[in-house]
Every structure is written in C-alpha cells, then in structure tokens.
A = this chain, B = another copy of it.
Amino acid sequence: MSDISAVLSTLDQNLDASLERLFALLSIRSISTDPAFADECRKAGNWLVEDLKSIGFDASLRETPGHPMVVAHHDGEGPHVLFYGHYDVQPVDPLDLWEDDPFEPALKEVEPGRKIITGRGSSDDKGQLMTFVEACRAYKAVHGKLPCKISILFEGEEESGSPSLKPFLQAHAEELKADFALVCDTAMWDRETPAICVGLRGLVGEEITVKAADRDLHSGFFGGAAANPIRILSKILADIHDEDGRVTIPGFYDGVEETPDDVLESWKALGQGASEMLGPIGLSELSGEKGRTALELVWARPTAEFNGIEGGYTGEGFKTVIPAEAYAKVSFRLVHSQDPDQIRASFRKFVEERIPSDCSVEFHPHGGSPAIQLSYTSPLVTTAQTALSEEWNTQAVTIAMGGSIPIVGDFQRLLGMDSLLVGFGLSDDRIHSPNEKYELSSFHKGQRSWARILDALAKNGV
C-alpha cells in the first residue's frame, strides 16, 4: 500500500499554489440568492469543472432549473465515496462593514504564527471543499491514482434553500450513490481540536389552536363559568414536561438511546458546561432533563419547545375578555430513531385528551424530519477519528449538532448513504456575516486531514 507521508509533504510544498487556486475561486461572486449573479454562479461551477478535470476527474456541469451542479467521478480501488460541498455563497451586504473587499481574498497575519484567509466563501464553503480537492490533487500527483473511487457533487444553491437538490439526487441516484458521503461543511470544536459530527437532531413542528366559546366573552358576565382557551392551552403546555424536565407525552422517548459513556466523557472534557453555554446569553441554569450535561442536552436529547403563543387581548392596557381561542407553536427536536410521524400523532392525542368536551382544537403541521445518528464506533467514524487525531496531534472529538443539515438527511433517505461530517471551520469564522474568514491552518491541515482520511479508509477497507 502507498505511503501517505509523500502526499502530505507535497501538500506542504504546494500550499501557495493551492492558495492561488482558492483565491481564484473566492474572487467569483457566486451569490446564489441574487439572480443578478447567476452568471457568476455558473462561472464558479465551470471553474471547478476545469480544476477537477486537471486532476483527472471526469467532471461536467449539470443543468438544473436553478444554478448548475458540478458532478465529477474518478476511478479508484477501496470504497466509493461521494464528496459534497457547495460553491455558492451568501450575499455580502452590509458591504460597509467589511474591512476588505469580500471578493478580493487575501492572506492576513492576525497574530504571530496565525494567518487567516479573508473573503466571502472562504469558510462557507469554498475553502472547505477545496481542502478535499487539494488532497485529491496531491495524492494523484504522488501516486498517479486516488486511494478510493471518488465521486464529487458541488451544489450551487445551498445558500438559497437547495430547491434543485432533491430532484437532482432522485434523477441521478444510480450515478451518485456511493458507499457513504463525505460532507465538508461543518466546524472544528476549536482551533486545535478536529471534530466529527455524528448526530443531527430532527424536528417536528405543530401549531395548535384551542377553541372555546363561539365569540369573545366579557369576563364579568362569564368569568368562572365559561371555558377559557388560554387556561386550557397553558395547562396542556405545562403538562408536557414533568418536574424533572422530561417530556411526558406517551412514547416520546421510543427510539431514544443513551449516549455511550466514553462519548459523554469526551464531551465533558470539552469544558462546555452550563455556565460556558448559558453565560453568554444571560442564563446559568440548565432547563432540560435533570442529570444531563449542557452538551448532552442539545446534542443527544430530544426536546419539546414552545416557539410562540398568542391569545386574547395583547394590546396596551387591559381588556377583561375571555377569548374565543388561543394558539401555540410547538416544536420537538428529535434524536436517534424517534419517528416524526409517531411523535406528531402522540402529541395530538396528548392534546386532544386535554380538550374539554365542549371545546375543540385544530392542528396545523409544520414539517417533520427524523434525526441523523451515526454510530460513534462505526469503522467509518473511528477510521476518520484516528486519521484526524494523527494530523492534529490531539484526540479528534465526535460531536453532534442541535440543528439539522438537510443534505445529510437527503443522502440517507434518497441514496441510502450515511454521511461522514468533517469540517475545519471555526465558530468565529463569521460565515453569513461581514469579514468572513478561514484559518490558514484549517485550509492547510484540512488538506492533510483529507489525505489521511482517504488513505485510512482505503487501507482499512471501510
């Protein structure tokens, strides 16, 4: 089998050249939400096609109703991987808040020994996707081949809701299906610690409207006799959590697994406790299930959240009214194998059981998606974890995210592929904001990380 060290030293020697290529890509104004930049999006796509061809990929631009996709394939032994990234970027306004032109990327030394790459898309996602491309380029240069069979999908609509993505995946399932996907659109834990995201919470949204009398009532004439929908709604919401912060809806925890102790230990070691997480927003007490750490609560536990509520008189002053109805917007964050449909059904039953016989309730669904949960100990994860740990000289952590990344769910549902989420962004990269940047160390060691990961995946026959 091949030796990775030659590939790594090649990456080191070619860092300046790789920066020139990245800057060329960053200088293209591929803002996907603004039709005025449609040509720039296409230009970015074409630039990537040509660059991938130069490495030996069979690359082409694929039309969609929106911005085109970049699809590329390269033969190889070992597993077949599909790498995903997006070449489109967020708008740059307010422009006057930028210290440098967002489309004139530059390398800046912000402190001795620390350099950053400035410009829109440097971190989200052009800089990240190029770490993978550069890894392929170096490996190919050294060995004349790639360690795995590699397919690449670069999207041009990620920052505008990915309207063309699902149809494209469905139409090209056969072509794009691989053993697993590699997604480089996430962040490291901190500047020194690489991370693999193995869990993404799912979401179920419901709007409930409780209806009582057929009109608003005067509380003087009916107070104490007629049903008050705000009271009914408050009771329902209050019943959803018990004293220990657990959700009381029957069957809610079906499919929820306990996080492995060693994972919990590794999260504790990250030092992100209640005060670290809540202090910056003016809070100090964990409000969720008792006996769980802050990170476990947002990464690995399901929740019921109340996102909005309204009923009765909400203007200035006071009105002694008993309203005809009141409503609330409720959402559930799901983990592991919780079933969105079953959660929604159980919630509706839970609510209906608490509606007085002479009142009624209306439900309005607001989307539902299951959680994404990879095994913390799958060969895919442990192989990548080892490779990352070797590159960064520190234990790579397996983390989760409280939110969701739609593409990962699409890969799982439409192509039956698990995803390995490895990224080198940092929480202070200011993606979507003025003065976006990407650490040079992220770009450089990111390239080396991918080279190690691809090599290890091949060696381990994952």
Q: Which residues of A contact B (CB under 8 A)?
A: 201, 203, 205, 207, 212-215, 217-228, 230-231, 233-235, 237-239, 241, 274, 277-278, 281-289, 294, 297-298, 301-303, 305-314, 317-323, 326, 328-329, 331, 333, 356-359, 366-367, 401-404
Contact = CB atoms under 8 A, between A and B. Distances in A.
Contacts of A226: 278, 281, 283, 287
A405 to B, nearest CB: 11
A308 B289 CA distance: 30
B222 A281 contact: yes
Nearest to A317: B366
B282 A214 contact: yes
A311 B328 CA distance: 9
A264 B287 CA distance: 48
Contacts of A322: 305, 307
Given A298-B221, A298-B224, A307 B321 contact: yes
B333 A223 contact: yes
Contacts of A241: 231, 235
Contacts of A288: 224-225
Contact of A220 (B215, B238, B289, B333): B333
Nearest to A326: B309
Contacts of A318: 205, 207, 307, 329, 331, 366-367
- From A207, A221, A231, A326, residue with most partner B Cβ within 10 Å: A231
Number of copies: 2
A312 to B, nearest CB: 4
Nearest to A292: B224
Contact of A225 (B228, B277, B307, B359): B277
B306 A312 contact: yes
A283 to B, nearest CB: 5
Given A225-B288, A318-B329, A213 B282 contact: yes
Contact of A303 (B214, B224, B278, B358): B224
A367 B326 CA distance: 25
A49 to B, nearest CB: 34
Contact of A215 (B235, B281, B403): B281
B404 A285 contact: no
A359 to B, nearest CB: 8
A319 B207 CA distance: 11
A230 to B, nearest CB: 4
Contacts of A238: 231, 234-235, 237-239
Contacts of A201: 220
B230 A237 contact: yes
A36 to B, nearest CB: 27
A220 B402 contact: yes
Contacts of A286: 225
Given A225-B298, A231-B305, A308-B321, 11 more contacts: A219-B333, A224-B305, A225-B277, A228-B287, A228-B306, A230-B308, A231-B287, A234-B234, A283-B358, A307-B320, A318-B331
Q: 3 tightest A-B contacts by CB? A: A220-B403, A238-B238, A214-B282
Nearest to A225: B297
A304 to B, nearest CB: 9
Contacts of A218: 403
A163 to B, nearest CB: 17
10 contacts: A214-B281, A215-B281, A218-B403, A222-B281, A223-B303, A225-B287, A225-B288, A313-B329, A318-B367, A320-B331
